[in-house]
């Protein structure tokens, strides 16, 4: 466990606040544009959609659904992808 950076790429928008991995893709939420992105492992945007949260702040994947939280109104969303 050296902490060595193996790979990096730019976020698709300027306010990254959440990241999850579904076994194939990265899922990323961005506060600046209230958007959720599906990313390839090179950072290429596969698809995106508007976040149900006005203040997107985190993501998790449970094997079937994304779980997403809103820091402005303290709501947690279950999202089918």
Q: What is the CATH number of the domain that holds 69?
A: 2.40.10.480
Predicted local distance difference test score (pLDDT) of residue 19: 98
Predicted local distance difference test score (pLDDT) of residue 70: 96
How far apart (Å, rounded) are the C-alpha atoms in residues 60 and 37? Answer: 13
Contacts of 27 (CB under 8 A, 6+ apart): 18, 19, 20, 21, 36, 37, 38, 39, 59, 61, 66, 81
Give, as one character, the DSSP assignment of residue 31: T
Query: What mean pLDDT is predicted for residues 40-68?
Result: 97
How far apart (Å, rounded) are the C-alpha atoms in residues 79 and 68? Answer: 7
For the full predicted model, state whether its pTM sits above 0.75: yes
Q: Structurally, how many domains does the chain consist of?
A: 1
Q: Please indicate, yes or no, if residue 23 is contained in any of the structural domains.
A: yes
Give, as one character, the DSSP assignment of residue 1: -
Q: Please indicate, yes or no, if residue 41 is contained in any of the structural domains.
A: yes
pLDDT-derived band at 46 (thresholds 50, 70, 90) equals very high
Tell me which residue range forms the domain holding 20.
16-80
pLDDT-derived band at 1 (thresholds 50, 70, 90) equals confident
């Amino acid at each position: 466990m050296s902490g060595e950076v193996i790979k990096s790429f730019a976020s698709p928008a300027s306010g990254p606040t959440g990241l999850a991995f579904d076994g194939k893709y990265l899922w990323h939420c961005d506060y600046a544009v209230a958007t959720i992105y599906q990313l390839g492992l090179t950072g290429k945007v596969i698809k995106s959609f508007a976040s149900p949260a006005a203040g997107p702040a985190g993501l998790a994947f449970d094997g079937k659904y994304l779980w997403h939280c809103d820091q402005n109104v303290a709501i947690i969303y279950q999202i089918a992808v």
